[in-house]
């Protein structure tokens, strides 16, 4: 039988309970199962991660996989923690808090770009894992110069990461984006004729923005604008000399 999720997450810790030695030696390790699941998700999306397909990839039986994980949901938690453990953690050095927050945001955007399936997993149990806790500890350090109380400190980091997740969703490739870009010069003019004078503010602002962005939106522009506003918002919490 697999161990409880908390022990699976901390399976490599010296204090983790040892697995029983009875029965035949497992052909694969829990780490190998998780790594294979990461590979499937990166290649084909989260829907490709099934116990049956994972067993086929590892050339073991489905029951063999279940000796390492209790369920697919537990496997997803292990995958999240593994991705967090493997991500780059930028050095802060002597940077000010604004530059530190930007580095945290950019490293998380890179993580979600490399593993977009992370956006489809929302399981608070991932917070219990060593990779996630190490990530959390490191990223709290970006906000240390603000000298916040613990609850505000945690909320401020959540504020940053929530913005990154929202932006990462918007930055996902859109299946019809090429079609819109191709037809925008024609469609933009026709749209203006349809709208007419019924919505003057939308027409004026939309036309100016559309011309500048060469389309109806730009996730990259929204990212830079939004991140700057997030940092400006945190400045209200900073000691006056650090703003």
Q: What is the mean pLDDT of residues 196-209?
A: 74
**Residue 110 CB contacts under 8 Å (≥ 6 apart), including other chains:** 87, 88
As a whole number of angstroms, the distance between CA 7 and CA 14 comes to 11
Domain boundaries, the chain: 5-83, 89-243
As a whole number of angstroms, the distance between CA 192 and CA 209 comes to 13
Single pTM value for the model: 0.85
C-alpha to C-alpha distances, 15 to 7, 10, 144, 200, 241, nearest whole angstrom: 10, 9, 30, 67, 44
Residue 23 pLDDT class (50, 70, 90 cuts): very low
The CATH code that applies to domain 5-83 is: 1.10.10.60
* Residue of 238, 112, 93, 91 lying closest to 166 (CA atoms): 112
Specify the pLDDT at position 173: 77
Place of tokens 């608070």: 124
Average pLDDT over the chain, rounded to an integer: 88
Q: What is the pLDDT of residues 55-69, one digit of tens each?
A: 999 999 999 999 999
Specify the pLDDT at position 129: 97
Specify the pLDDT at position 20: 54
CATH class name, domain 89-243: mainly alpha
Q: Judge contact between 26 and 64, C-beta under 8 A.
A: yes
- Helices 219-235 & 150-171 angle (0-180, nearest 10): 170
């Amino acid at each position: 039988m697999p161990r409880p999720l908390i022990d699976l997450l901390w399976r490599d810790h010296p204090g983790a309970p040892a697995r029983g030695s009875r029965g035949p030696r497992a052909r694969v390790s829990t780490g190998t199962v998780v790594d294979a699941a990461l590979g499937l998700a990166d290649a084909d999306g989260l829907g490709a991660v099934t116990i049956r397909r994972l067993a086929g990839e590892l050339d073991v039986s489905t029951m063999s996989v279940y000796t390492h994980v209790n369920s697919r949901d537990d496997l997803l938690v292990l995958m999240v923690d593994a991705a967090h453990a493997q991500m780059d953690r930028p050095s802060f050095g002597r940077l000010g808090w604004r530059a530190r927050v930007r580095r945290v945001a950019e490293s998380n955007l890179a993580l979600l770009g490399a593993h977009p399936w992370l956006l489809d997993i929302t399981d608070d149990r991932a917070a219990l894992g060593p990779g996630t806790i190490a990530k959390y500890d490191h990223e709290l350090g970006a906000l240390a110069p603000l000298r916040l109380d613990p609850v505000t400190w945690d909320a401020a980091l959540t504020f940053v990461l929530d913005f990154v997740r929202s932006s990462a969703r918007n930055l996902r490739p859109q299946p019809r984006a090429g079609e819109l870009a191709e037809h925008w010069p024609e469609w933009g003019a026709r749209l203006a004729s349809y709208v007419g004078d019924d919505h003057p503010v939308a027409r004026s602002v939309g036309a100016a923005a559309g011309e500048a962005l060469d389309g109806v939106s730009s996730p990259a522009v929204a990212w830079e604008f939004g991140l700057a506003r997030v940092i400006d918002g945190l400045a209200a919490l900073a000691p006056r000399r650090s703003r």
